[in-house]
Amino acid sequence: MSKQPKILFLNPPGKKIYIRDYYCSKVSKAYYLPQPVDLLMQTAHFSEEEFDLKVLDCIAEKLETKTALAQISTYSPDFIIGQIGSVSLEEDAPFYYNIKKQLPDVSILASGDALLENHEELLQQWPWLDAIITNFFNDGSLKWITGDFTKASGIVFRNENGTKTNEATRISNYEMAVPKHHLFDKRAYRMPFANALPIATVLTNYACPYPCTFCIMSTMPYMTRSAESIISELKEIKELGYKYIYFSDQTFFMSKLVSKAVLKWMIESNFGIKWMCFSRVDVLGEEEIGLMKQAGCNLIMFGVEFADEDYLIKYKKNYTLEQIRNTFQLTAKAGIKRLGTFLIGVPGQSKDSILRTIQFAKEIDADYASFNIAVPRSNTSFREEAIEAGIIDESLKVMDQSGDEVTMGTGILSKRELQKLKLRAYRLFYFRPHYLIKRLISINSSTEFKVHVREGWHIFKALIS
């Protein structure tokens, strides 16, 4: 009997808590760390009857570089499917180089926001990298590993003619196999607003059809899974003992027929696991929010971004301040908590505009707020705007989506001024006596209390540092 090929799904080590997922790498703002969804979804494509599979999440396991290299050498994989982040690029590239140095026969495939552009140049620059995964949702990596190169979609690789790019295409009702949650240490992951542990990550669709100019997602083919595929995964998650779910879709309920089928199954089967998700204020109405509440949703994260209508139009959010107010009210009425994400530091933005954004976060009575400094992400028109405005140089590669280190000023405000305004935003929003009392009253479990205390402590340390 022939030996099973060994495949290692790898999240490299790092000096900080790096989150390299979904083409949006960042430093964890507090202490949160979800399952690495790129790797999780890739596990779905490989059968354990045909392959020897292993996950090594060096961030979750808090492994130092030397220890991680030793473990990889001991396992001696034939293939590595890994992550490379813009935020951690200066650490990731040397790490993979050292892997190839000690295991010269291993083939390395990787995905991440550091690999979104200039594929041919990157493959020439990094001989240790054998293929770039441009779409982790489909099975291009499986096809490449098994030698079926013509059918390997969503992947860029070397061939006898130089570099071959196989684009991914849009797929609807994809019958994806169940991602292999059992390969991940479920005790290692946490999210700041989960009221129970352990927590699993689920992805029901891929990318996003909306054209927000600062986001990479609209440049990728939108794909959806079938309701049956998602329900099979939810059943397994429950059997494995998970107590909370983070749906990491860019827009939950975008695929209305699929989402309704899944939610109705959750309700009728008494699924009984609470969950959170991202969505949009123009996607959810009273009917959708009501179904979500019945199915166990206790938090929805909305991309509010700005308090100025002009910016909502300019950056193609395609909804209004009034829609934001209405959806936040509907969600509160249903008894679901709301997190608003807000974007500050776009080209030309003034201090007054940012202060209006902070005030708007309080006006809509968000339960939580996340203030993010704009990042000129690869392959976006927003990046082109920043380059044309002379705010950044086109050679810029290392970026942190969390704003832990500010990438650019606005042309009016410096990077230092933006960092101060971000800290001010958190102080003005979270350090209100009425707000703090409201949050304490809303806590329903000891786990939720512990999560809030831990995350609150890390945020507090960041604010006073």
pLDDT in tens, 134-154: 999 999 999 999 999 999 999
Determine whether 377 is exposed, middle or buried from the number of CB atoms within 10 Å of its CB (0-12, 13-18, 19+): buried
Co-location of 196 and 89 in the same domain: no
Q: Is residue 290 part of a domain?
A: yes
Assess if residue 183 is contained within a domain: no
pLDDT in tens, 196-250: 999 999 999 999 999 999 999 988 999 999 999 999 999 999 999 999 999 999 9
For the purposes of burial, counting CB atoms within 10 Å of the CB of 161, is it exposed (0-12), middle (13-18) or buried (19 or more)? exposed
Does residue 45 fall inside a structural domain?
yes
The yes-or-no verdict on residue 341 having pLDDT over 80 is yes
pLDDT at res. 1: 38
**What is the DSSP secondary-structure string of 22-69?**
GG--EE-SSS-B---HHHHHHHTTS-TTT-EEEEEETTTTT--HHHHH
166, 199, 214: which is the final residue of a domain? Answer: 166
Indicate which CATH number applies to the domain containing 146. Answer: 3.40.50.280
Its pTM stands at 0.94
Which among 416, 452, 431, 389 is positioned nearest to 191, based on CA atoms?
A: 452
The three-class DSSP label of residue 131 is strand
Find, among 208, 194, 203, the residue nearest to 297 by Cα: 194
Same domain, 260 and 371: yes
Place of tokens 């494995």: 240
Last residue of a domain, one of 149, 166, 183: 166
Domain membership flag for residue 222? yes
CATH number at residue 274: 3.20.20.70
Number of domains in the chain: 2
Domain containing 406: what range? Answer: 191-464
Tell whether 157 and 227 lie within a shared domain.
no
Is the pLDDT confidence value at 317 over 80?
A: yes
Interval 29-45 mean pLDDT: 92
pLDDT of 337 above 70: yes
Q: What CA–CA distance (Å, rounded) separates 26 from 405?
A: 10
Q: What is the CA radius of gyration of the chain?
A: 22
Domain contains 154: yes
112 and 233: one domain?
A: no
Q: Is the same domain home to 132 and 210? A: no
Q: Are residues 205 and 145 in the same domain?
A: no
Assess if residue 75 is contained within a domain.
yes
Residue that is last in its domain, among 132, 166, 200: 166
User: Do both 118 and 206 map to the same domain?
Assistant: no
pLDDT of residue 461: 63
Q: Is the pLDDT of residue 299 over 80?
A: yes
Are 159 and 197 found together in one domain? no
Name the 3-class secondary structure at 248. coil
310 with 449, same domain?
yes
Residue 172 in any domain: the answer is no
- The mean pLDDT of 20-31, rounded to a whole number, is 88
Please write the tens of the pLDDT for every residue from 381-399.
999 999 999 999 988 888 8
**At 462, is the pLDDT very low, low, confident or very high (cuts 50, 70, 90)?**
low
Average pLDDT in the 165-183 region?
91
Claim to verify: residue 403 and residue 304 sit in the same structural domain: yes
Kindly state whether residue 186 falls inside one of the protein's structural domains.
Answer: no
> Do 200 and 344 sit in the same domain of this protein?
yes
How far apart are alpha carbons 346 and 381 in whole angstroms?
A: 12
Count of Cβ atoms closer than 10 Å to residue 423 Cβ: 15
| Number of residues that make up the chain | 465
Let me know whether 313 and 375 are in one domain.
yes
Q: How far is CA 365 from CA 18, 200, 319, 332, 334, in A?
A: 30, 28, 19, 9, 14
